[in-house]
């Protein structure tokens, strides 16, 4: 885990900190080849420069976001935004289903939309994998 991600997690209230630490550990374990850094003030994991998964503290929960999650076959994520992202929201660490999270992480490696080129393509996404 990147030191900045650890600092982000440590700065959260105890309940949110537990969620963030669990998510970071699961994502690191499920995508060991991914680069982790703070991006737009939140922990995000990248494959080949493309954002794959991250989380952020919202007012009432911790949101887990998969940039290509709307294209996953595995259910359980909710559509987020106008592109291909999907999310899960947690208010307690025991709400995180680590088996389901593992399946989402496996899909995230194989199902990717090219977010790193979205500006160059003027807002148009293309499927990578």
What CATH number is given to the structural domain containing 55? Answer: 3.90.1150.200
For residue 122, tell me if it sits in a domain.
no
For residue 93, tell me if it sits in a domain.
yes
Q: How confident is the model at residue 2 (pLDDT cuts 50, 70, 90)?
A: very high
Q: pTM (2 decimals)? A: 0.88
For residue 52, tell me if it sits in a domain.
yes
Whole-number Å distance between alpha carbons of 47 and 109? 8
pLDDT reading at 50 higher than 60: yes
- How far does Cα 87 stand from its chain's mean position? 8
Rg (CA), the chain: 14
Q: Which tops the pLDDT comparison, 122 or 22?
A: 22
- Per-residue CA distances from 79 to 6, 34, 68, 85 (Å): 28, 23, 10, 6
Containing domain of residue 34, as a range?
A: 3-117
Provide the number of structural domains found in the chain. Answer: 1
pLDDT reading at 128 higher than 70: no
pLDDT of residue 129: 60
Give the Cβ contact number of residue 80 at 10 Å: 18
Instruction: Please compute the mean of the pLDDT values over residues 118-127 and round it to a whole number.
Output: 56
For residue 77, tell me if it sits in a domain.
yes
């Amino acid at each position: 885990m990147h030191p900045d991600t650890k600092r982000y997690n440590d700065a959260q209230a105890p309940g949110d900190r537990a969620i963030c630490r669990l998510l970071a550990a699961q994502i690191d374990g499920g995508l060991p080849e991914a680069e982790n850094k703070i991006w737009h003030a939140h922990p995000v994991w990248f494959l080949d420069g493309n954002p794959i998964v991250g989380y952020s503290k919202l007012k009432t929960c911790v949101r887990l976001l998969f940039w290509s999650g709307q294209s996953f076959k595995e259910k359980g994520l909710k559509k987020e935004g106008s592109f291909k992202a999907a999310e899960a929201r947690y208010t307690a660490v025991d709400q995180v289903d680590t088996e389901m999270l593992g399946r989402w992480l496996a899909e995230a490696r194989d199902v990717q939309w090219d977010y790193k080129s979205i500006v160059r393509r003027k807002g148009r996404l293309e499927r990578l994998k």
